[in-house]
Structure 1
Amino acid sequence: MKRIIITSLIGITTMTTTALTLPLLSQQSYTQTADSQAEKLDSSQTEKLEQLIKTALQQMGQYQHQKSIETFQQALAIARKIKDRKKEADANFGLGFNYNSIGKPQEALNFYNEALPILQELGDRSGEAVTLNSIGAVYDNIGKPQKALEYYQQALPIRREVGDRSGVAAALNNIGGVYRNIGKPQKALEYYQQALSIVREVNNRSGTASILNNIAAVYGSIGKPQKALEYFEQALPIWKEVEDRSGVATTLNNIGGVYDNIGKPQKALEYFEQALPIMREMKNRSGVATTLNNIGGVYGSIGKPQKALEYY
């Protein structure tokens, strides 16, 4: 029985933004330089807008997505009122990110698509690329790979144009993920290998581990378990080095899955049983369930049905 492999698109695939900063956000300091009431009012509104966006970002970083949405909505209203197009784009992007995070992809697309033409109008190429990538990620997550590919492929040349090497790697990785999902493993490997070369070049250790895991999963899916092990085993010490418990647990589980599939149940158990306490420690319920199922499956396959039932 083939065990479940928890594939990793963690880290680099989600490089659409970071938790505490919007890549679109311009950091500026504002001072009042005139005494007119109108200018004071405008400066006051600008300062309020800055503070709202700062607060919304903090809320987003603390996973308080509903509160962040409310704060970004206030910011958006002020940005439109004072005709601050940059902050209008920032607020729209932030709303898109939050709605995507709470599982409302259509709302996310609506706000990302509000941000995109503003960024294009402002000539913000970096922000445009981030937003294109974010739209692609939404389509990817809702099972529309061709639409995802369309947006990822628009983002890629812009990332190259602005010299964003990490962004180029993210786009290449995401394109690889789409090809993998639509059953084109060789195309997937081609893009993953390009991404891997870049993340190594820029010394992005988490990104390196994530892409190694992605490459391994492709090899596992096309019946090349030794190649899969080779890449999973390169990823594991990097996850440990960067203290990414999720990455460690995922990769331990994946290595166990490969050993089980090639008829080495004791080796499989060794890895599954290392993964399980980490999954529990992280309160990753789906990961715990998958790993318990995998352990139960191994015991079932070696003629220990009662032991298997303890895990199922």
Structure 2
Amino acid sequence: MILNVFGGGDLHQALDAGERSLAIARELNAREQMAFTLNDLWRPYAAVGDLASSLASLEEATPIWRELGNRPMLSENLASIASLRRTAGKEAEALALSLESYRISEEIGNQWGQAYALMNAFGVYLDRGELGKAMAAMEESIELSERVGFIPPQATTRSELASVYANLGDLERANELVEIALRVVNELQPISRPWVMGTKAELHLLAGELEPARSAIEQTQVDCSRSHCAPVRRSASRSFEGGSPRPRAISTVRWRSRPGSSSGSADSASGRSSRPRSSCRGPRSRRWGGGPRPSVRCGRPAPRPRIWGIAECCGRSCAS
């Protein structure tokens, strides 16, 4: 019930259901049920900004899963903790937890768990500017998720991959990925629509298309009374005051932080792209975030482009 209600956007009802469930489980000393509830409660806690309670709920569940020998749930638990650790800037710990989660899931043949673990690992790679590793992790996560029907990577991870391609100069590939992600959120996961529309707005801004960017943000269709992304529309209107393409327009849906760096081209970063060079277009230098974004053209070295880690308005963990 917690996740069903949370998925519909009613955060406080989800918290209430979770806390009542946990109280009953504690009273009965039903340890497995306690662990299940604790594992689910972290999302609504994070969504309302209570990251301390979110982390505490996960860490209380960890030893129970180890004690019970429930490796699928242990893998999910570790990956969720990794998400919060990365949000707190503890990247080394986040990556170690993600890789442990991935290893456990791989050993037991749990492709859902592998895809989830990679969702958290790729963010650390992006923060560090390790684009080849990040893109490989994203693509594997998407592929695995499609095999087992795990929806979030098909939407948010694909959206993030689109952002990487765009910032490396391949706007055509980026737009293809965003359109697929939009179909996923429209049909299967509306709660992730602001995330994907944020990327769509970003692509328009990178192409210098202000009105389509404004429209993308307005089309997030966020219910500000219920959603954890309530600031989206208010921030959107401020971002376009005077019609100027302010860098903070992207922060209406996502915040970017912790710059990393790398060198190379879009083709060499992915290590797999076979797209013709003529299809890869990169906008010229424009201010983004805390510094100038270099022009990127396919087949030419990129002068250390800055790549940001991604966080939704309440913390990246909400959409994991």
The TM-score, its normalising length taken from structure 2, stands at 0.62
1:117-156 equivalences in 2 (<5 Å): 117-156=63-102
Counterparts of 2:195 and 2:63, CA distance in 1: 38
1:241-260 equivalences in 2 (<5 Å): 241-242=187-188, 244=190, 246-247=192-193, 249-260=194-205
Residue 32 of structure 2 corresponds to which residue in structure 1?
86
User: Can you list the C-alpha shifts for 1:140-190, whole angstroms capped at 9, x where unaligned?
Assistant: 222222211111111112222333222211111221122113332222111
Matched, 1:286 2:246: no
Flag the structure with higher strand content: 2
Matching residue's letter, 1:197: E
Alignment counterpart, residue 20 of structure 2, candidates 71, 94, 100: 71
The TM-score, its normalising length taken from structure 1, stands at 0.63
User: Can you list the C-alpha shifts for 1:41-63, whole angstroms capped at 9, x where unaligned?
Assistant: xxxxxxxxxxxxxxxx9xx9763
Matched, 1:217 2:163: yes
1:35-114 equivalences in 2 (<5 Å): 63-64=12-13, 67-68=16-17, 70-72=19-21, 74-80=23-29, 84-90=30-36, 92-93=38-39, 96=42, 99-114=45-60
Residue 214 of structure 2 corresponds to which residue in structure 1?
272
Deviation at 1:132, TM superposition (A): 1.1
- Secondary structure, counterpart of 1:64 in structure 2: helix
Residue 104 of structure 2 corresponds to which residue in structure 1?
158
Alignment counterpart, residue 190 of structure 1, candidates 126, 130, 136: 136
Matched, 1:170 2:116: yes
Contact 1:272–1:294 under 8 Å retained in 2:
no
Counterparts of 2:116 and 2:161, CA distance in 1: 14
Deviation at 1:70, TM superposition (A): 4.7
Counterparts of 2:104 and 2:200, CA distance in 1: 37
Counterparts of 2:150 and 2:15, CA distance in 1: 31
Contact 2:156–2:195 under 8 Å retained in 1:
no
CA 1:75–1:274 in 2, change beyond 3 Å: closer, same or farther? same
User: Can you list the C-alpha shifts for 1:192-219, whole angstroms capped at 9, x where unaligned?
Assistant: 0111111223344553122220101122
Flag the structure with higher helix content: 1
Residue 300 of structure 1 corresponds to which residue in structure 2?
244
Counterparts of 1:89 and 1:251, CA distance in 2: 32
CA 1:291–1:106 in 2, change beyond 3 Å: closer, same or farther? closer
CA 1:87–1:229 in 2, change beyond 3 Å: closer, same or farther? closer
CA 1:121–1:148 in 2, change beyond 3 Å: closer, same or farther? same
Aligned CA-pair RMSD: 3.5
CA 1:79–1:160 in 2, change beyond 3 Å: closer, same or farther? farther
Counterparts of 1:278 and 1:214, CA distance in 2: 17
Contact 2:116–2:141 under 8 Å retained in 1:
yes
Runs (5+) with no aligned partner, structure 1: 1-16, 22-56, 302-312
Counterparts of 1:69 and 1:130, CA distance in 2: 18
Counterparts of 2:191 and 2:40, CA distance in 1: 28
User: Can you list the C-alpha shifts for 1:102-128, whole angstroms capped at 9, x where unaligned?
Assistant: 433334333433322222122111121
Name the stretch that deviates more: 271-280 or 174-183: 271-280
Runs of 4+ residues over 6 Å off in structure 1: none
- Secondary structure, counterpart of 1:139 in structure 2: helix
Alignment counterpart, residue 202 of structure 1, candidates 137, 148, 153: 148
Report how many aligned residue pairs link the two structures: 241
Contact 1:173–1:195 under 8 Å retained in 2:
yes
- Secondary structure, counterpart of 2:99 in structure 1: helix
